[in-house]
Chains A and B, each alone.
Chain A
Amino acid sequence: MAKNPFETELVFSKTWSTPGGNTLDGYKASGGYAGLKKALEMAPDDIITEVSKSNLRGRGGAGFPAGRKWSFVPKDSDKPKYICVNADESEPGTFKDRYIMERSPHMLIEGTAIGCKAIGAHVAYIYIRGEFGLAETRMQQAIDEAYAAGILGDSVMGSGFKLDMYIHRGAGAYICGEETALLESIEGKKGQPRLKPPFPAVEGLFACPTIINNVETLAAVGPIIDKGSDWWVKLSRTSAEGGTKLVGVSGHVAKPGVYEVPGGLTLKQVIYEVAGGMRNPDKALKAVIPGGSSCPILLPEDIDVGYDFDAMKTVGSLMGTGCPTIIEEGTCIVRLLTRVERFYAHESCGQCTPCREGGDWLFKILSRIEAGQGTMADLDKIESLASKIEGHTICAFGEALAWPARSYLKRFFKEFEQHVELGRCPFGPIPVAAVALSGVVA
């Protein structure tokens, strides 16, 4: 019998609706910092082994096993080591990390501290997106509390392990969510990604070994160390991926929001059982963007698939950040893609020509099509342009802008064709603001 998805034990959101759950007392009352206490008595290798056994995979989108990442840090290096928390959540459609920082900031501090103990880092930087006013305030309050309580500082919980934790506030650049761009940004530079290798684990921040982890990934570490990897694995309904996860469902659903669900649900369950299905029952599901704007779009027939990193690949998409965006019938896909590509054209760091120029070209071609001035040759141009951007840039931004273009075009080709044939958008007039920004004279 299938378990009800809501009967899961809450890990991330345990204290979210408790008043004061974001404070040290609130967090401690819910069993917080037991994991750190335990970790301080463990050998670093044992911490890494435990995290590896839990099968915790990076929740920022790439799904890289967290334990394995930590094991890449050279043990014989005499350079200082760093952990950088990637809290630059800016993938369009993604909104889970902000909730952790606003509602359970101590969970992130605990996980980060355990990570530092595991790799031998004595300084951690939390790179918070500049726009996150409340998240930064809450994180800073939590860090101050932790210092005052001896959880951070010269002797973490009296163990003699020294750890300092600082917030580094970003300033509004999507690209700084890319790990090496994030490092550049902490070093006080423009956020332009670095060529790899060397990988950050060997030569990262200030040319020292550095681990960059997502907020949700690190937040999971405290409970995993406290209760053991077996407990974590069992929280999931499948063995493929352990634990619970935060899913942020947005778009045309009845109950958009952030939910904590056990691993192993299908995407369909997430949409219909967790988020209450379509907001307007008279309108059918048209498409789903499974995990942030860069993921290839899915058709309704493809959603009965496990919502995890591996299963999503079987339908030609990705789980990404775990925040699906649901689109109902009557939405113009060309207009949506135009908006997405405008975002990428705007956010390109400008380092690689295919991305810097190609992104803008894609956006201009799409604006033309949406305004009813496109030709059939434009449709071929989208595909040929996107395929030449993909794989030809320093970082994955090239893929992030090419994947939506190629998948939207492939899966909704008829709709693109219709725009060209009709010479207008079949879904009605374009909002004035969007036209003004596209530069197309309508």
Chain B
Amino acid sequence: MGLAFTDEDRAKIDEIVARYPNKPAALLPVLHIVQDNFGHLSPEVQLLVAQALDVPPPRVREVVTFYEMYHEHPEGQFHIEVCTNISCHLMGGDAVLDHLRSKLGIECGQHTKDNMFSLMEAECLASCGSGVTLKVGRDYYEHLTVEAVDALVDRFKKMAPELKGKAYICGKDGPHVGPVKGFEPPAPKLVAAPTKKAPAKAAAKDSKPAAEAKDSKPAAKADKGSQDLPSFNPPPLNKNGKK
């Protein structure tokens, strides 16, 4: 088959190899860029990588099959991974995943007939304070609800023709982290610190912390609005960071 690396690919591979004392160490990063180019890591592509890095082909395959992010088969253009691990589980991740299954009509590990979407359950995406979270390409969508997911899928459908058959990696401004536009979560409700009811059990012995929290900082900060809080719940990142 006429499968080969372009000169550009080769230059990139050489640049990566130079970072390590030996060639095989470059395997993981090289597989990443090769997968981005070819869409998935077919046996032919794996062989190319093995030759480029002087490693036996089985060694490439064992790495490809060990790591979750390498795919031997093509995924949908939008490969959706929904987190349902602890924190997202608590925030309703299972319901979001269930909704996506029925909306797209596929199970985890399958893709839609038109190859536009594939669905997976993700392990913890380290976005626990803003769950439910899903990952598409390099983007994170947080604070998901069923409605937000609906809007997101519709948006992807509109975007699909622009991709011209390629898999979605991330937007022009770089990876997105944050809620789906138009579905931002409400500002954190400041439940006037521990109220009488909830902490009654936990904080029964000592009510001081509760009283303290109530009339000191958190309340004061709340008045100013949650926008410029220095340390907690930092505002969502602006597109690409200001340069």
B232 lies within 8 A of A134 (CB): no
A436 lies within 8 A of B107 (CB): yes
Bitwise, B113-150 to A at CB < 8 A (1) or not (0) is: 00000000111111111110001011110000000000
Within B1-52, which residues are at the interface with A (CB < 8 Å)?
A: 19-22, 24-29, 31-32
Contacts of B170 in A (CB 8 A): 133
A259 lies within 8 A of B232 (CB): yes
Q: Does B201 contact A (CB under 8 A)?
A: yes
State A27–B88 Cα separation when bound (angstroms).
33
CB of A244 to closest CB in B, whole Å:
9
Residue picked from A6, A191, A248, A331, most chain B C-beta under 10 Å = A6
Contacts of A277 in B (CB 8 A): 191, 193-195, 198-199
How many CB-defined contacts (below 8 Å) exist between A and B?
290
Residue picked from A134, A283, A303, A327, most chain B C-beta under 10 Å = A134
Contacts of A185 in B (CB 8 A): 28
B85 lies within 8 A of A293 (CB): yes
Q: Does A43 contact B (CB under 8 A)?
A: no
Contacts of B176 in A (CB 8 A): 134
State A94–B204 Cα separation when bound (angstroms).
29
Q: Does B80 contact A (CB under 8 A)?
A: no
B234 lies within 8 A of A103 (CB): yes
Q: Which residue from A171, A252, A256, A325 sits with its C-beta under 8 Å from B130? A: A256
CB of A145 to closest CB in B, whole Å:
10
CB of B201 to closest CB in A, whole Å:
5
Bitwise, A138-175 to B at CB < 8 A (1) or not (0) is: 10010000000000000000000000101011111110
Q: Does B184 contact A (CB under 8 A)?
A: no
Q: Does A98 contact B (CB under 8 A)?
A: yes
Q: How large is the interface on A (under 10, 10 to 19, 20 to 34, 35 or more residues)?
A: 35 or more
State A323–B208 Cα separation when bound (angstroms).
24
Contacts of A170 in B (CB 8 A): 28, 67
Contacts of B84 in A (CB 8 A): 339, 433-434
Q: Which residue from A102, A251, A272 sits with its C-beta under 8 Å from B90? A: A251
CB of A104 to closest CB in B, whole Å:
11
Within A206-222, which residues are at the interface with B (CB < 8 Å)?
A: 206
Q: Does B73 contact A (CB under 8 A)?
A: no
Contacts of A20 in B (CB 8 A): 241-243
State A105–B119 Cα separation when bound (angstroms).
32
Within B188-227, which residues are at the interface with A (CB < 8 Å)?
A: 188-191, 193-195, 197-203, 205-206, 208-210, 212-213, 216-218, 221
State A295–B231 Cα separation when bound (angstroms).
26
State A2–B212 Cα separation when bound (angstroms).
9
Closest to A261 in B: B231
B128 lies within 8 A of A93 (CB): yes
Contacts of B162 in A (CB 8 A): none
State A219–B232 Cα separation when bound (angstroms).
18
With A92-B86, A95-B126, A327-B90 in contact, do A7 and B217 touch (Cβ < 8 Å)?
Answer: yes
Residue picked from A17, A80, A99, A129, most chain B C-beta under 10 Å = A17
Q: Does B167 contact A (CB under 8 A)?
A: no
With A6-B231, A16-B230, A276-B188 in contact, do A90 and B197 touch (Cβ < 8 Å)?
Answer: no
CB of A419 to closest CB in B, whole Å:
17
Closest to B127 in A: A95
CB of A372 to closest CB in B, whole Å:
17
Contacts of B201 in A (CB 8 A): 284-285, 300
Closest to A265 in B: B209
A325 lies within 8 A of B128 (CB): yes
Q: Does B94 contact A (CB under 8 A)?
A: yes
With A272-B199, A284-B202 in contact, do A134 and B89 touch (Cβ < 8 Å)?
Answer: no
B193 lies within 8 A of A252 (CB): no
Contacts of B22 in A (CB 8 A): 206
B85 lies within 8 A of A92 (CB): yes
Contacts of B212 in A (CB 8 A): 2, 4, 273
A137 lies within 8 A of B191 (CB): no
Closest to A323 in B: B128
Q: Which residue from A23, A95, A276 sits with its C-beta under 8 Å from B242? A: A23
Closest to B232 in A: A259
B202 lies within 8 A of A303 (CB): yes
Bitwise, B62-73 to A at CB < 8 A (1) or not (0) is: 110011111000
Stretch in contact with the other chain, from A52-60, A340-348, A385-393? A340-348
State A255–B200 Cα separation when bound (angstroms).
19
CB of A164 to closest CB in B, whole Å:
8
B193 lies within 8 A of A278 (CB): no
Within A392-442, which residues are at the interface with B (CB < 8 Å)?
A: 431-434, 436-437
A138 lies within 8 A of B241 (CB): yes
Contacts of B70 in A (CB 8 A): 171
A188 lies within 8 A of B202 (CB): no
State A103–B236 Cα separation when bound (angstroms).
11
State A137–B240 Cα separation when bound (angstroms).
9
State A6–B210 Cα separation when bound (angstroms).
14
With A10-B230, A436-B107 in contact, do A248 and B175 touch (Cβ < 8 Å)?
Answer: no
Residues of A within 8 A of B (CB): 2, 4-8, 10, 13-14, 16-17, 19-20, 22-23, 80, 89-95, 97-99, 102-103, 129-134, 137-138, 141, 164, 166, 168-174, 185-191, 206, 248-252, 254-260, 268-269, 272-274, 276-285, 289, 293, 300-301, 303-304, 323, 325, 327, 331, 335-336, 339-340, 343, 346-347, 349, 431-434, 436-437
5 residue pairs bridging A and B, Cβ less than 8 Å apart:
A134-B177, A172-B69, A251-B128, A260-B232, A431-B95
Residues of B within 8 A of A (CB): 19-22, 24-29, 31-32, 53, 55, 59, 62-63, 66-70, 84-87, 89-91, 94-95, 97-98, 101, 107-108, 121-131, 135, 137-140, 170, 174-177, 188-191, 193-195, 197-203, 205-206, 208-210, 212-213, 216-218, 221, 228-235, 237-238, 241-243
* Closest 9 pairs between A and B when the two form their complex, measured CB to CB: A133-B138, A172-B68, A133-B175, A188-B27, A171-B67, A431-B94, A250-B128, A92-B124, A172-B69
* 11 other A-B residue contacts (CB within 8 Å) besides A137-B174, A171-B31: A16-B234, A17-B230, A92-B87, A93-B87, A188-B53, A250-B87, A276-B193, A279-B191, A283-B198, A339-B86, A340-B85
